[in-house]
Amino acid sequence: MTVVAVEPGRAHCRWRGEERRVDTVLVGDCAVGDRLLVFLDSARERLDEARAAEIDATLALVAQAQAGLLDAAGGAAAAFDAFPLPSALDAADLAAFAGRPAAVRGPAGASPMPAPIPAPIPSRSPE
């Protein structure tokens, strides 16, 4: 959604003709023109224009699929060429997409293994 007006702790946002008053406590102060990812009338994330466009395109595809406007003959395939889907990424790109370190290579010929996840720090018991 795009911020069209602000007040302390809130933003008035608009997207595709819909307007909402959104809580901004999770993202901080906003300015008119900022793009926000909104869920249940609460801003969850600030978006740059590229990410906002990806989300808009994805939501448009969902709406088209729900309306039965995409078919297997080409409508969906052409639409999915607009941006890469996680299922089309290789292991290194998928790890980067997920914010994880790149995969660790095993012995020659073995498939890559995910990098180990650090063990949690044990909590101290009260003394």
In this predicted structure, what is the pLDDT of residue 62?
83
- b/e sequence 21-56, b meaning 16+ C-beta within 10 Å: ebebeebeebeeebbbebeeeebeebbeeeebeeee
Based on the domain organization, do 43 and 53 belong to the same domain? no
94 confidence band (pLDDT: 50, 70, 90): confident
Between CA 43 and CA 74 the distance in angstroms is: 35
Q: What does each C-alpha distance from 22 to 40, 43, 63, 66, 126 come to in angstroms?
A: 9, 6, 23, 26, 42
CATH code assigned at 30: 2.30.30.140
Span 1-47, pLDDT tens digits: 999 999 999 999 999 889 999 999 999 999 999 999 999 999 999 99
Based on the domain organization, do 99 and 76 belong to the same domain? yes
Where in the sequence is the domain holding 42, given as residue range(s)? 1-47
Based on the domain organization, do 61 and 43 belong to the same domain? no
Based on the domain organization, do 66 and 93 belong to the same domain? yes
Would you say 75 and 67 are in contact if contact means Cβ atoms under 8 Å apart? no
In this predicted structure, what is the pLDDT of residue 41?
92
Candidates 42, 82, 87, 33; CA nearest to 61 is: 82
